[in-house]
Amino acid sequence: MFNSDHQWNVRIEMQARPISFRTERYEVRTLRAEDASERYLSWYLDPKVMHPQNAPTARLTMDELRAHIAGFDRQKSHLLGIFDPAKKLHVGCYILNIQPQHRIARIHIMIGDEAYRNRGVATETTTGLIDHLFASRGIEKVVVQVLTSNIGFNRVMEKIGMRVEGHLKGEVIASGGSGRLDQVLYGILKKEWPALAEGTRR
Protein backbone atom coordinates (compact mmCIF):
# COMPACT_ATOMS: atom_id res chain seq x y z
CA MET A 1 0.00 0.00 0.00
CA PHE A 2 1.29 3.49 -0.84
CA ASN A 3 0.70 6.24 1.64
CA SER A 4 2.81 8.82 3.46
CA ASP A 5 3.64 6.42 6.32
CA HIS A 6 4.54 3.40 4.26
CA GLN A 7 6.20 4.97 1.27
CA TRP A 8 8.12 2.40 -0.80
CA ASN A 9 7.06 -0.21 1.76
CA VAL A 10 9.46 1.20 4.35
CA ARG A 11 7.76 0.59 7.67
CA ILE A 12 8.56 3.09 10.40
CA GLU A 13 7.99 1.93 13.97
CA MET A 14 7.29 4.78 16.35
CA GLN A 15 6.26 4.76 19.96
CA ALA A 16 4.23 7.52 21.56
CA ARG A 17 6.76 9.33 23.73
CA PRO A 18 6.38 12.63 25.56
CA ILE A 19 9.03 15.31 25.03
CA SER A 20 10.75 17.15 27.86
CA PHE A 21 13.89 19.28 28.02
CA ARG A 22 15.31 22.34 29.73
CA THR A 23 17.08 25.37 28.37
CA GLU A 24 18.92 27.93 30.44
CA ARG A 25 15.74 29.76 31.51
CA TYR A 26 12.81 27.64 30.33
CA GLU A 27 11.26 24.20 30.47
CA VAL A 28 9.62 22.71 27.36
CA ARG A 29 7.46 19.62 27.72
CA THR A 30 4.47 17.77 26.30
CA LEU A 31 1.23 19.40 27.41
CA ARG A 32 -1.25 17.38 29.47
CA ALA A 33 -4.99 17.80 30.04
CA GLU A 34 -4.31 19.44 33.40
CA ASP A 35 -2.33 22.21 31.64
CA ALA A 36 -5.60 23.58 30.18
CA SER A 37 -6.20 26.94 31.89
CA GLU A 38 -8.06 30.24 31.49
CA ARG A 39 -4.68 31.81 30.77
CA TYR A 40 -4.03 29.40 27.87
CA LEU A 41 -7.61 29.90 26.57
CA SER A 42 -7.09 33.68 26.50
CA TRP A 43 -4.27 33.39 23.95
CA TYR A 44 -6.75 32.13 21.33
CA LEU A 45 -8.69 35.39 21.77
CA ASP A 46 -5.64 37.61 21.18
CA PRO A 47 -5.23 38.84 17.57
CA LYS A 48 -1.55 39.60 18.27
CA VAL A 49 -1.03 35.89 18.95
CA MET A 50 -3.32 34.40 16.29
CA HIS A 51 -3.01 36.69 13.25
CA PRO A 52 0.79 36.35 12.80
CA GLN A 53 0.13 32.60 12.57
CA ASN A 54 -2.55 33.23 9.93
CA ALA A 55 -5.20 31.94 12.31
CA PRO A 56 -8.44 33.59 13.37
CA THR A 57 -9.12 34.35 17.02
CA ALA A 58 -11.30 31.70 18.63
CA ARG A 59 -13.38 31.46 21.80
CA LEU A 60 -12.75 27.89 22.98
CA THR A 61 -14.27 26.20 25.99
CA MET A 62 -12.10 24.43 28.55
CA ASP A 63 -13.38 21.07 27.25
CA GLU A 64 -12.45 22.03 23.68
CA LEU A 65 -8.98 23.01 24.85
CA ARG A 66 -8.57 19.67 26.65
CA ALA A 67 -9.74 17.87 23.49
CA HIS A 68 -7.20 19.89 21.48
CA ILE A 69 -4.42 18.83 23.87
CA ALA A 70 -5.55 15.19 23.65
CA GLY A 71 -5.61 15.32 19.85
CA PHE A 72 -1.82 15.02 19.46
CA ASP A 73 -0.60 11.43 19.15
CA ARG A 74 2.90 12.14 20.58
CA GLN A 75 4.36 10.19 17.68
CA LYS A 76 3.83 12.22 14.52
CA SER A 77 2.27 15.22 16.22
CA HIS A 78 3.25 16.88 19.47
CA LEU A 79 1.88 19.82 21.47
CA LEU A 80 4.53 21.22 23.82
CA GLY A 81 4.26 23.90 26.47
CA ILE A 82 6.96 26.49 27.16
CA PHE A 83 7.16 27.15 30.91
CA ASP A 84 9.00 29.67 33.06
CA PRO A 85 9.98 27.41 35.96
CA ALA A 86 11.06 30.33 38.14
CA LYS A 87 7.51 31.76 38.06
CA LYS A 88 5.72 28.44 37.41
CA LEU A 89 4.08 30.01 34.37
CA HIS A 90 2.96 28.54 31.05
CA VAL A 91 4.06 31.16 28.51
CA GLY A 92 3.73 29.57 25.07
CA CYS A 93 3.48 26.45 22.92
CA TYR A 94 5.10 24.52 20.12
CA ILE A 95 3.39 22.23 17.66
CA LEU A 96 5.63 19.65 16.00
CA ASN A 97 4.70 17.59 12.99
CA ILE A 98 7.02 14.69 12.22
CA GLN A 99 7.44 12.93 8.88
CA PRO A 100 9.07 9.75 10.20
CA GLN A 101 9.93 8.24 6.83
CA HIS A 102 12.09 11.26 6.04
CA ARG A 103 13.12 12.07 9.66
CA ILE A 104 11.84 15.62 9.22
CA ALA A 105 10.23 17.77 11.92
CA ARG A 106 8.15 20.86 11.13
CA ILE A 107 7.94 23.43 13.93
CA HIS A 108 5.23 25.97 14.78
CA ILE A 109 5.37 28.29 17.81
CA MET A 110 3.35 30.81 19.73
CA ILE A 111 4.43 32.85 22.71
CA GLY A 112 1.01 33.48 24.24
CA ASP A 113 2.00 35.69 27.16
CA GLU A 114 2.75 39.17 25.83
CA ALA A 115 5.13 39.85 28.74
CA TYR A 116 7.38 37.10 27.37
CA ARG A 117 7.58 38.33 23.76
CA ASN A 118 10.77 39.99 22.48
CA ARG A 119 12.71 38.66 25.47
CA GLY A 120 14.52 35.89 23.62
CA VAL A 121 12.13 33.05 24.57
CA ALA A 122 11.66 31.81 20.99
CA THR A 123 15.36 32.15 20.21
CA GLU A 124 16.40 30.16 23.29
CA THR A 125 13.73 27.46 23.21
CA THR A 126 13.73 26.89 19.43
CA THR A 127 17.49 26.35 19.65
CA GLY A 128 16.87 23.92 22.53
CA LEU A 129 14.11 22.15 20.62
CA ILE A 130 16.27 21.66 17.53
CA ASP A 131 19.13 20.40 19.74
CA HIS A 132 16.70 17.93 21.33
CA LEU A 133 15.20 16.73 18.05
CA PHE A 134 18.62 16.08 16.51
CA ALA A 135 20.21 14.58 19.63
CA SER A 136 17.37 12.49 21.05
CA ARG A 137 14.52 11.98 18.56
CA GLY A 138 16.24 10.68 15.43
CA ILE A 139 15.37 13.80 13.42
CA GLU A 140 17.74 14.71 10.57
CA LYS A 141 16.08 17.84 9.18
CA VAL A 142 14.01 20.62 10.75
CA VAL A 143 11.81 22.89 8.65
CA VAL A 144 9.77 25.98 9.51
CA GLN A 145 7.33 27.98 7.38
CA VAL A 146 6.77 31.58 8.44
CA LEU A 147 4.53 34.27 6.97
CA THR A 148 6.79 36.74 5.16
CA SER A 149 5.05 39.50 7.14
CA ASN A 150 5.98 37.93 10.52
CA ILE A 151 9.03 40.07 11.32
CA GLY A 152 9.61 38.59 14.78
CA PHE A 153 9.80 34.91 13.84
CA ASN A 154 11.73 35.59 10.63
CA ARG A 155 14.24 37.40 12.85
CA VAL A 156 14.39 34.37 15.18
CA MET A 157 15.09 32.10 12.19
CA GLU A 158 17.91 34.39 11.12
CA LYS A 159 19.35 34.62 14.66
CA ILE A 160 19.56 30.84 15.17
CA GLY A 161 21.04 30.22 11.73
CA MET A 162 18.19 28.57 9.82
CA ARG A 163 18.75 28.57 6.04
CA VAL A 164 16.22 30.21 3.74
CA GLU A 165 15.22 27.38 1.39
CA GLY A 166 12.54 29.20 -0.51
CA HIS A 167 10.13 32.06 -0.87
CA LEU A 168 6.69 30.54 -1.26
CA LYS A 169 4.41 32.86 -3.20
CA GLY A 170 0.73 32.79 -2.25
CA GLU A 171 1.37 29.67 -0.15
CA VAL A 172 -1.63 30.00 2.19
CA ILE A 173 -5.11 31.50 2.05
CA ALA A 174 -5.36 34.45 4.44
CA SER A 175 -7.42 33.40 7.45
CA GLY A 176 -9.46 36.59 7.07
CA GLY A 177 -10.34 35.49 3.55
CA SER A 178 -8.59 38.38 1.78
CA GLY A 179 -6.39 36.64 -0.77
CA ARG A 180 -3.28 34.50 -0.44
CA LEU A 181 -0.16 35.14 1.66
CA ASP A 182 3.55 34.55 1.04
CA GLN A 183 5.72 32.47 3.35
CA VAL A 184 9.44 31.90 3.84
CA LEU A 185 10.58 28.27 4.07
CA TYR A 186 13.52 27.64 6.40
CA GLY A 187 15.46 24.40 6.85
CA ILE A 188 18.48 22.97 8.60
CA LEU A 189 20.11 19.53 8.46
CA LYS A 190 21.44 17.74 11.53
CA LYS A 191 24.94 17.63 10.06
CA GLU A 192 24.90 21.43 9.66
CA TRP A 193 23.51 22.24 13.09
CA PRO A 194 26.38 21.92 15.64
CA ALA A 195 28.66 24.27 13.73
CA LEU A 196 25.88 26.80 13.30
CA ALA A 197 24.76 26.51 16.90
CA GLU A 198 28.29 27.11 18.17
CA GLY A 199 28.58 30.29 16.18
CA THR A 200 25.13 31.78 16.59
CA ARG A 201 23.79 30.94 20.03
CA ARG A 202 23.17 33.84 22.38
Ligand X SMILES: CC(C)(COP(=O)(O)OP(=O)(O)OC[C@H]1O[C@@H](n2cnc3c(N)ncnc32)[C@H](O)[C@@H]1OP(=O)(O)O)[C@@H](O)C(=O)NCCC(=O)NCCS
| 27-30 sheet: strands from edge to edge | 20-22, 27-30, 77-84, 89-99, 104-111, 141-147, 180-189, 163-173
Query: Long-range CB contacts (< 8 A, 24+ apart) of 36-45?
Result: 36/62, 36/65, 36/66, 36/69, 37/90, 38/62, 39/90, 39/112, 39/113, 40/65, 40/90, 40/112, 41/65, 42/112, 43/110, 43/112, 43/113
Interface with ligand X, residue 150, by CB under 6 A: yes
Closest distance to ligand X from the beta carbon of 123 (Å) = 3
The size of the interface with ligand X (CB under 6 A), counted in residues, is 21
Distances (CA, A) of 13 to 2, 5, 100, 107: 16, 10, 9, 21
Interface with ligand X, residue 156, by CB under 6 A: yes
Per-residue string for binding with ligand X, 47-86, x by CB under 6 A? Answer: --x--xx---------------------------------
CA gap 109, 120 in Å, rounded: 13
Site residues for ligand X, 123-142, by CB under 6 A, read 123
Single residue of 28, 31, 98, 111 touching ligand X by CB under 6 A: 111
Single residue of 61, 77, 118, 149 touching ligand X by CB under 6 A: 118
Nearer to ligand X, 29 or 138 (CB): 29
Closest distance to ligand X from the beta carbon of 132 (Å) = 17
Interface with ligand X, residue 181, by CB under 6 A: no
Nearer to ligand X, 16 or 174 (CB): 174
Please report, as ranges, the residues that interact with ligand X according to CB under 6 A: 49, 52-53, 108-111, 117-123, 146, 150-153, 155-156
